[in-house]
Chains A and B, each alone.
Chain A
């Protein structure tokens, strides 16, 4: 099959698409590239490509950093709970590692928080009102902001770093959930 292919390639493709078996010894048929009369530097594609790539990545980084500095559309919720601060300090990281001793507890509470908040939001969508302290403001924001492009973001008050969802899968749910006022939804029971 390979021999037939090479023959058919040679007979059918005689033009500049020389990239078939004839390349093995006839690489230099496309080789004699004349370097006469180049207007720009001969490595201009190389330099331009790498500079463009670096500029793109740095631009992306600055856009992301800028996003962190611009004002949020709603007020900050001043959560006095210390656990919230601890949680929030890592929650905005993508996969920043936690210390193993704190990992389970915080991720559990994170997850419970998230689960409860999302539950509240679903209730809100059904038109009910909740009296949960921590989700009251966000609830109103959600009902107000429905239809805006940031609705998706506002719906999820607490979210989890992907790692820790699976941590919760393996750890038992404790009762040290100081952040929520309602019992958590044991959503993982249905896995």
Chain B
């Protein structure tokens, strides 16, 4: 959002009037490091899937979609930091035409990454759900063509929504639409995964497994959902507070931690490959093959 860039600029330029809740400013190096790490990791995931024919299955396409949206998010942060640095050094006019256009494009990239991430996670959960509960028909329900079509529809919708949200940004319906996507998707994913987990529990109980296996399932599920919640909820709350109570001192104190919230989203882009992509043994094998083959 434009105010994001403006906020950063103002911190660098002027002193705060109300220093009771000073804005927490993180050094740019941290943002750069995390963003570059995010881009590299997700690029590795993409390359591993593209280069290996045996990984070209719908499940990996959905994981690639998640990797692309995480990469876009990290790219957004890198571009934004570059723009801010250029602006602070005086190479760019504060209100020039190029400035505002670049701002718009970068904002829409950010929203595209957010929406893409949300929908990719939902689609991954739905794919796993179909795998478990409709396993016999899985290969006829989830074909490669349908997966590609679903992803194309999702990304087209995200692009259009991103552009629309940027054009109509800061209007109340836009903000409400944007922030309601997060809890809706959370509830959807929660229901799917809990249902899958219940099946795992009842299945394991039938075969009298150790409870350790069930505990691992609970831990995995908590990690999947917990990372998503911890990384996204602070930013969503920030957007809500910014729209509805910008003058409230409590809200202002929460909004002073904006950069920390933004960094959490970047961390989500870094953590996601580890909990989605690299949990798959095939992808790890492909990754190792890529690394070792590139050495020889």
- By a beta-carbon cutoff of 8 Å, the part of chain A in contact with chain B is 2-3, 6, 16-21, 23-25, 27-28, 30-35, 38, 40, 42-46, 49, 53, 56-57, 60-61, 64-65, 67-69, 72-74, 76-79, 84-85, 87-98, 100, 103, 111, 114-115, 118-119, 138, 150, 152-154, 156-160, 162-163, 165-167, 169-170, 185, 187-188, 190-191
Contact = CB atoms under 8 A, between A and B. Distances in A.
B247 A159 contact: no
A57 B222 CA distance: 7
B84 interface: no
A69 B210 CA distance: 11
A154 B253 contact: no
Interface in B110-138: 127-128, 131-133, 135-136, 138
30 contacts: A2-B97, A2-B104, A17-B243, A21-B100, A23-B2, A31-B17, A32-B17, A35-B18, A42-B249, A45-B254, A46-B254, A60-B222, A60-B225, A67-B218, A72-B201, A72-B206, A87-B207, A89-B209, A92-B201, A93-B200, A94-B128, A94-B193, A96-B216, A118-B135, A150-B202, A162-B59, A163-B279, A165-B138, A167-B281, A187-B136
B7 to A, nearest CB: 7
Main secondary structure, interface of A, reads helix
Given A49-B254, A98-B281, A72 B205 contact: yes
Interface in B41-89: 54, 57, 59-60
Contacts of A23: 2-3, 6
A165 B247 contact: no
B282 A163 contact: yes
- Give 5 nearest A-B pairs by CB, closest first: A68-B214, A64-B218, A88-B207, A92-B204, A72-B205
B247 A27 contact: no
A142 to B, nearest CB: 12
B146 interface: no
B218 to A, nearest CB: 4
Contacts of A100: 281, 285
B229 A56 contact: yes
A159 B197 contact: no
B253 A30 contact: no
B1 to A, nearest CB: 8
Contacts of A91: 200, 203-204, 207, 209, 213
